[in-house]
Amino acid sequence: MADLQAAKEKLRGSIAPIITPFKEDGSIDYSIFEQLIDWHIHSGTHAISVTGTTGEPSSLTVEERVEVMKIASKTIDQRVPFVPGTGSTNHEETMYLTKKAEDIGADAALVIVPYYNKPSQHALYKHFKRVADSVDLPIIIYNIPGRTATNLHVETLAKLSKDCPNIIGVKESNKDFEHVNRVLLNCGRDFLLYSGIELLCYPMLAIGGAGHISATANVVPSKVAEIYDAWKEGDVKRAQDLHYELMPLNDVLFKDTNPAPLKAALGMMGRIEPVLRLPMDVPTKAIQDEIRNVLRDYVDLPDEVTAK
């Protein structure tokens, strides 16, 4: 079994969920992908995640997901922890991808509550237990009811954390702050609780959270990482100031479905070609104009090109 205590110690802070960059023809741009990873590490990001919601996993083939994980692991080269998303709506696919993540050398796997199927709590328990039992890899469950249509109940999570020692944490993209408080009450204060809601990144630290997995880190990685750094150093005022400073950016980056606004913003910054695979697409021109107007307050834009 992996050294779970060591994993718990190092898997803290800003775990950036990096986008999957595409070329104009829709193929994955691995060169830009590597550049993004290097930029994040140099910007102070504490860990890297790929093929989570922000990485458009539903638009990737299983083979592409494995290749993205391999390239990411090689590029990271153990400079920071690596936490790929391995979940799917398909149980066997989730098992396969989680095992691949372990073979590649990931530090943990982020496994989403299956989407579309709307499984019962009993079925969710069986799904996650079988995945966890199949690997020695630490598992972080990803609860995002707004996109899966299913909320993983605290009682189910607590039972999983008790029965599966390698289930060490949860990413809660859950706006119910009572729910996330009860996660630590029922799973234990050493259970790793990450915010997946941008406006809850700072508040979750205040209740004992381990950090955040925030899409906004794609645009301003250093500031998102600094929220955690300031909190850890005891500079509560700085953490609070960053929380409010980033709020307008957080708001505009969710004017359309993630990661469409992120890719538009990164395109404006000259870091990627703002391309998504259908059925996703870049935001409307009106939303892009809003993004650009807000983005100017946070980064220097090299040009005023509108995403196609």
The C-alpha atoms of residue 76 and residue 78 are separated, in whole angstroms, by 5
End-to-end CA distance of the chain: 48
CA distances from 236 to 9, 197, 230, 233, 285 (A): 21, 20, 7, 8, 38
CB 173 within 8 A of CB 186: no
Q: What are phi and psi of 85, to 5 degrees?
A: -80, 125
Is the bond preceding 259 in cis, omega lying within 30 degrees of 0? Answer: yes
Amino acid at 304: E
Distance of CA 86 to the CA centre of its chain: 12
Of 72, 86, 83, which Cα lies nearest the Cα of 20? Answer: 72
Residue length of the chain: 308
**CA 96 – CA 104 distance, rounded (Å):** 12
Residues with catalytic roles: 142, 171
